[in-house]
Amino acid sequence: MSTKSWNPRSLAAQAMGKIDPQTRAVVPPIHISTTYIRDEDNGYSSGFIYGRPDNETVRECESVLAMLEEATAGALLFGSGMAAATAVFQALSPGDHVVASKVMYWALRAWLLTEATRWGLKIDFVETDDLAALKAAVKPGATKLVWAETPSNPLWTITDIAAAAEIAHQAGAKLAVDSTCASPVHTRPLTLGADIVMHAATKVLNGHSDVVAGVLCAREDDEFWNRVKTVRKGQGGILGPFESYLLMRGLRTLHVRQERQSASAMDLAQRLSAHPLVARVLYPGLPQHPGHDIAARQMENGFGYMLSVQVTGGEAAAIKTAAHVGLYKRATSLGGVESLIEHRASIEGAGSPCPTDLLRLSTGIEHVEDLYADLDQALKAGHG
């Protein structure tokens, strides 16, 4: 039976249906060799030369990711989400203009404000969910890249990907989308017009908080994508085979994890919206969310696993609430099977767009009643 007729969920669950030809194992082996035998004519008929630019286990994992994102040009795995994201900017030329989301992953924003400018890039930050502001910021002929994060971390604003792609393309620019907090289960930006989609695969793609990884997927195998490939090859940014193996293991359960996590996130968002100690819930699945209509159009299978709450009582109450959780874990990161909570403003520091009364919640796969009960008692303790 051909795998061409299989649903992406089935393909991911069976890692593209590949069976090891030698042992008939249903789990692909880990290929860890760093070097390969040359042919008698000094060539490499196997297609492998050295471990820095290429590896079979990495290729196999990339094939699953490219399938999930419908990436015609394929996927590239990196040693971290930051390595993947910065490779896109490093593929640009000095003097190129970039427009990026004002609300985005804080470490990448910090890198853009410091290191990217040393590379000669010119960066403007705008609210990419505001299409008028985005169009005004883009400079035809000068802007080479629009970088949009949607849903944006940690305010969960929603950028209209199709509209942003049109604005970018009319100006001669590429659109890259950080879709870490959506996952291909919910959004496939390339099908909406984006040129590149990036994930911190450390998060929900792996889902077990035991791998640091990043991935880029592309719609077209063009000159710019080949520049990105050159950056990874030259800088040695490829993910290791062990991490690739673990990531592929995580991808096998991505759909079932995301279904549970998204359903619980929606349940919590609705219930917390009515909590007397919560001033506001930020979640695109709520009808009152400013980006709800766009999210409903470009997301499917739910609205993702991330939400934030702004508590009454301000910063002190928020920090105290986080200090009293039991089931939730006070830790950085997101997307794992365990639920996490974090006071983002104190983590991001000066210049953060994050309100000081905000707590970011990553929803795991625990029982939703336990999750709500834990937050309820922590909120009461935080205001006591």
Q: Is 245 known to be catalytic?
A: no
Q: Does residue 313 share a domain with residue 235?
A: no
Q: Does residue 165 share a domain with residue 261?
A: no
Whether residue 30 contacts residue 57, with contact meaning beta carbons closer than 8 Å, is answered with yes
208, 226, 251 - which closes a domain: 251
Is the model more confident about 47 or about 188?
Answer: 188
Name the amino acid, one letter, at 279. Answer: A
Q: Whole-angstrom Cα distance, residue 80 to residue 239?
A: 8
Point out the least confidently predicted range of 123-132, 288-297, 342-351. 342-351
Catalytic-role residue among 52, 122, 139, 380: 52
Whether residue 247 contacts residue 61, with contact meaning beta carbons closer than 8 Å, is answered with yes
Q: What is the mean pLDDT of residues 326-350?
A: 95
Catalytic-role residue among 96, 105, 344, 360: 105
Point out the least confidently predicted range of 27-36, 332-341, 375-384. 27-36
Specify the CATH number for the domain of residue 364: 3.90.1150.10
Which H or E run includes 320? helix 314-323
Q: Does residue 232 share a domain with residue 332?
A: no
236, 251, 266 - which closes a domain: 251
Q: Is 54 known to be catalytic?
A: no
Catalytic-role residue among 174, 203, 260, 320: 203
- List, for residues 254-281, the tens digit of each pLDDT value: 999 999 999 999 999 999 999 999 999 9
Residue 238 has pLDDT above 60, yes or no: yes
pLDDT interval class at 225 (50, 70, 90) = very high
Whether residue 372 contacts residue 268, with contact meaning beta carbons closer than 8 Å, is answered with yes
Q: Is 178 known to be catalytic?
A: yes
Q: Whole-angstrom Cα distance, residue 195 to residue 52?
A: 26
Whether residue 247 contacts residue 236, with contact meaning beta carbons closer than 8 Å, is answered with no
Q: Does residue 345 share a domain with residue 242?
A: no
Q: Does residue 265 share a domain with residue 206?
A: no
Q: Whole-angstrom Cα distance, residue 268 to residue 261?
A: 10
* Nearest residue to 86 (alpha-carbon basis) of 103, 100, 69: 100
User: Between 223-235 and 81-90, two packed helices, what is the crossing angle to 10 degrees?
Assistant: 120
* Nearest residue to 136 (alpha-carbon basis) of 149, 127, 145: 127
Q: Does residue 239 share a domain with residue 320?
A: no
- Bridge partners of residue 55, in order along the sequence: none
Q: Does residue 180 share a domain with residue 302?
A: no
Please give the structure tokens belonging to residue 319.
Answer: 């920090």
User: In sequence order, what DSSP letters do the residues of 107-130 get, joined into one string?
Assistant: HHHHHIIIIIHHTT-EEEEE-TT-
Q: Is 20 known to be catalytic?
A: no
Q: Does residue 147 share a domain with residue 41?
A: yes
Residue 237 has pLDDT above 80, yes or no: yes
Catalytic-role residue among 96, 129, 178, 374: 178
Q: Does residue 357 share a domain with residue 247?
A: no
Q: Whole-angstrom Cα distance, residue 110 to residue 98?
A: 15
Residue 247 is part of which domain span? Answer: 3-251
Q: Whole-angstrom Cα distance, residue 97 to residue 102?
A: 15
